[in-house]
Amino acid sequence: MTGGDFEALVAVLAPDVVARSDGGAGGVGAPSAVRGAASVARQAIMFAPFAQSSRMALVDGAPAVISIRDGQRFSVMRFTIERGKVVELYVVNDPARLPELDLTVLGD
């Protein structure tokens, strides 16, 4: 989803999708949650510019996207998928937690 296509993004999200983020004490912002496909898609579109540095990955065996900045992990977005739709996104951008994740970058 590098082009920022709002309708295409909404189409892969469950209507009641929940996006959670955890910036932690050293990360960007406090833990938060956004609910609903349109709200989650609007928030996600704001991060489309970071797609250039993103790679597909697995986190604890679940599908994920990792973003790299200056050669370092910047954030990891893990997806929970049910019946072909994303029902939950969990974003970790807490610098203290990123190295602890069981992460496999795909395509390496």
18-51 pLDDT, tens digit per residue, is 999 876 554 455 557 899 999 998 888 776 666 6
DSSP 28: S
pLDDT score at 14: 96
Does this model's pTM top 0.85? My answer is: no
Q: What is the mean pLDDT of residues 46-70?
A: 81
| Beta bridge partners of residue 22, listed in sequence order | 92
Q: How far apart are CA 107 and CA 57, in angstroms?
A: 8
